[in-house]
A and B are shown apart, each in its own frame.
Chain A
Amino acid sequence: KNEVEQSPQNLTAQEGEFITINCSYSVGISALHWLQQHPGGGIVSLFMLSSGKKKHGRLIATINIQEKHSSLHITASHPRDSAVYICAAGTGTASKLTFGTGTRLQVTL
């Protein structure tokens, strides 16, 4: 069993739909990261959170420490949101991230 698991693996949505991507982890974490990777390969950090909820534009990330679960929500999805979304657990005292397998999102018109 992977230490960080994501679901779903693939997701297709129509423009305007509300999207949820889930992440469960089995390790103790210092922080949970949500990353976005576009087809060219570059990775952008979306959120880093260790408790509660964060919002940036149409993106919302939540984490439940007791249940070891985090969600990434996208409201009013748009084709430009099409990317791979990866959650990663930050653990220990160094910058080592353990990654989920990613969720490939495609938003169509």
Chain B
Amino acid sequence: KAGVTQTPRYLIKTRGQQVTLSCSPISGHRSVSWYQQTPGQGLQFLFEYFSETQRNKGNFPGRFSGRQFSNSRSEMNVSTLELGDSALYLCASSPMGTGGLETQYFGPGTRLLVL
């Protein structure tokens, strides 16, 4: 099976712009989680989608949003970009997303730089 894929891999934006990142989970996986990794804050949970519904959300402002399509592919959107949004954005998929009791399979990440 193909692994988790994320596009684009690298992105440069300027403050105030918006960005959309895409994640394709492993075939058959219905849960997609998004994480932000920065040198200062480390890895932080953004949100999780399961069967097109947001099931859990981390402590991030409303500028961060996401959605999941019927084929389980997921997108996350960040509006009105700030310098502090520069980070590695990782998505991970798992079959059912059952309470952290499943192994999560991570994509390679999208590295976003906000200038």
Known contacts A30-B99, A31-B100, A41-B88; decide if A97 and B106 are in contact (CB<8 Å): no
List chain A residues, Cβ under 8 A from B104. Answer: 33, 45, 95, 97
* B-contacting residues, A74-93, CB 8 Å: 86, 88-93
Contact between A96 and B101, CB atoms less than 8 A apart? no
Binds A, one of B15-23, B40-48, B60-68, B70-78: B40-48
* A98 in the interface (beta carbon within 8 A): yes
Determine the distance from Cα of A42 to Cα of B105 in the docked complex, in whole angstroms. 10
Within the complex, the shortest CB–CB distance from A10 to chain B, in Å, comes to 14
Contact between A90 and B109, CB atoms less than 8 A apart? no
List chain A residues, Cβ under 8 A from B44. Answer: 99
**What are some 22 contacts across the A-B interface (CB < 8 A)?**
A29-B100, A30-B101, A31-B101, A35-B106, A41-B37, A41-B90, A41-B111, A42-B107, A94-B50, A94-B55, A95-B33, A95-B48, A95-B55, A95-B98, A95-B99, A95-B102, A96-B33, A97-B35, A97-B45, A97-B100, A102-B42, A102-B43
**B residues within 8 Å of A by Cβ?**
31, 33, 35, 37, 42-45, 48, 50, 55-56, 58, 88, 90, 92, 94, 97-109, 111
List chain A residues, Cβ under 8 A from B58. Answer: 96
Task: Tell me the number of A-to-B contacts counted with CB atoms below 8 Å.
Answer: 88
Within the complex, the shortest CB–CB distance from B98 to chain A, in Å, comes to 8
**16 additional A-B residue pairs with CB within 8 Å, beyond A41-B108, A94-B56:** A42-B108, A48-B102, A50-B101, A86-B43, A89-B100, A90-B100, A92-B56, A94-B100, A95-B92, A95-B94, A96-B100, A97-B35, A97-B100, A99-B43, A100-B42, A102-B42
**A residues within 8 Å of B by Cβ?**
29-31, 33, 35, 40-45, 48, 50, 86, 88-102
Contact between A94 and B106, CB atoms less than 8 A apart? no
Contact between A94 and B108, CB atoms less than 8 A apart? no
Contact between B106 and A43, CB atoms less than 8 A apart? yes
- Which of B42, B90, B99, B103 lies at the interface centre, i.e. has the most chain A CB atoms within 10 A of its CB? B99
| Pick from B31, B90, B97, B103: contact of A48, CB under 8 Å | B103
